């Protein structure tokens, strides 16, 4: 069992970081005690990686590979190898931050593999799950629905189920979520109980 948590915020001490850490803390309560699991979970900050935007060059249409040489070569295998993939993202202009959007767009080779070549990279029958956490300054459901819609398409493209999504609106300042212990407890409890669903 491999669990990877991607943080899309560029802010090192942003609200997304604390959401990811509390989720991981909950998960660790059962995950680290199991000898079949790797020793530590992965928290991956997307902004630590060099992710170039898709050029729409069409190379992947028949090769199912991307021509761009950058850190996606490290990130693709993490997605392919993980059983539970959690994304934690702030809302930027009713959407996801640019780094996250670039990451998503770079899965166009997976689109080509599935829809153009009929050879999906991740087979349709798999037990992978995606969990989504969204945080934003305003508390606006339509912003959340936008982001969820983007992730639904990402998951469809990869044959993975988006099984859970959570929205914490009205949280804006750096680390403001630390003033909301009830939210952090809820996140940690979800991670702790996740084992029951596997
Ligand atoms: C460029 C930019 C765009 C933003 N756009 C929105 C927005 O459209 N709606 C909103 O509610 N909050 C917006 N915010 C506020 C962030 O969602 C909010 O500060 C969030 O808590 C940041 O999460 P983080 O601390 O994990 O980075 C924006 C912030 C930035 C920097």
Structure-token pair, residue 145: 């629905």
Q: Which atom of ligand 1 is nearest to the CA of 88?
A: 26
pLDDT given at position 118: 97
Task: Give residues (CB < 6 A) around ligand 1.
Answer: 9, 11, 14-16, 90-94, 135-138, 140, 143, 171-172
Residue 19's closest CA among 144, 136, 114?
A: 136
Q: What are phi and psi of 146, to 5 degrees?
A: -60, -50
> Residue ranges per domain, the chain?
3-193
Query: Distance, CA 4 to ligand 1 centroid (Å)?
Result: 23
Q: State what percent of residues in the chain have pLDDT above 70.
A: 98
pLDDT given at position 1: 86
How would CATH label the architecture of 3-193? 3-Layer(aba) Sandwich (3.40)
Residue 19's closest CA among 47, 41, 43?
A: 43
Mean pLDDT of 173-191: 98
Which residue's CA lies nearest to atom 21 of ligand 1? 172
pLDDT given at position 39: 63
pLDDT given at position 198: 78
Which residue's CA lies nearest to atom 25 of ligand 1? 14
Residue 137's closest CA among 7, 16, 8?
A: 16
Structure-token pair, residue 70: 């950058």
Confidence grade of residue 183 (pLDDT, cut at 50, 70, 90):
very high
Confidence grade of residue 40 (pLDDT, cut at 50, 70, 90):
low
Mean pLDDT of 1-5: 92
Q: pTM of this prediction? A: 0.97
Which residue's CA lies nearest to atom 15 of ligand 1? 137
pLDDT by residue (tens digit) across 64-101? 999 999 999 999 999 999 999 999 999 999 999 999 99
Distance set, CA 42 to CA 5, 11, 119, 158 (Å):
6, 18, 28, 20
R_g over Cα of the chain: 17
Query: Distance, CA 125 to ligand 1 centroid (Å)?
Result: 36
Residue 4's closest CA among 34, 51, 37?
A: 37
If one residue of 6, 90, 183 were mutated to test the ligand 1 pocket, choosing by the most ligand atoms within 8 A of its CB, it would be: 90
Helix (H) or strand (E) holding 10, with range, is none
Query: Distance, CA 95 to ligand 1 centroid (Å)?
Result: 9
pLDDT by residue (tens digit) across 93-151? 999 999 999 999 999 999 999 999 999 999 999 999 999 999 999 999 999 999 999 99
Q: Which residue has the higher pLDDT, 41 or 149?
A: 149
Q: Which atom of ligand 1 is nearest to the CA of 17?
A: 26
């Amino acid at each position: 069992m491999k669990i990877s948590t991607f943080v899309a915020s560029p802010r090192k001490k942003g609200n997304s970081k604390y959401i990811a850490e509390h989720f991981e803390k909950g998960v660790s309560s059962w995950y680290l005690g199991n000898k079949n699991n790797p020793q530590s979970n992965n928290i991956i900050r997307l902004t630590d990686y060099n992710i170039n935007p898709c050029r729409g060059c069409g190379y992947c249409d028949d090769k199912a590979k991307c021509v761009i040489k950058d850190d996606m070569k490290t990130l693709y295998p993490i997605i392919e190898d993980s059983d539970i993939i959690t994304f934690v993202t702030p809302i930027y202009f009713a959407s996801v931050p640019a780094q996250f959007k670039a990451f998503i767009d770079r899965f166009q080779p997976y689109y080509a593999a599935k829809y153009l070549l009929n050879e999906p990279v991740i087979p349709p029958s798999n037990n992978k799950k995606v969990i989504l956490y969204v945080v934003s300054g305003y508390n606006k459901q339509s912003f959340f629905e936008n982001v969820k819609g983007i992730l639904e398409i990402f998951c469809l493209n990869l044959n993975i189920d988006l099984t859970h999504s959570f929205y914490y609106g009205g949280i804006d300042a750096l680390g403001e979520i630390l003033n909301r212990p009830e939210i952090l407890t809820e996140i940690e409890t979800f991670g702790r109980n996740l084992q029951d669903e596997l």
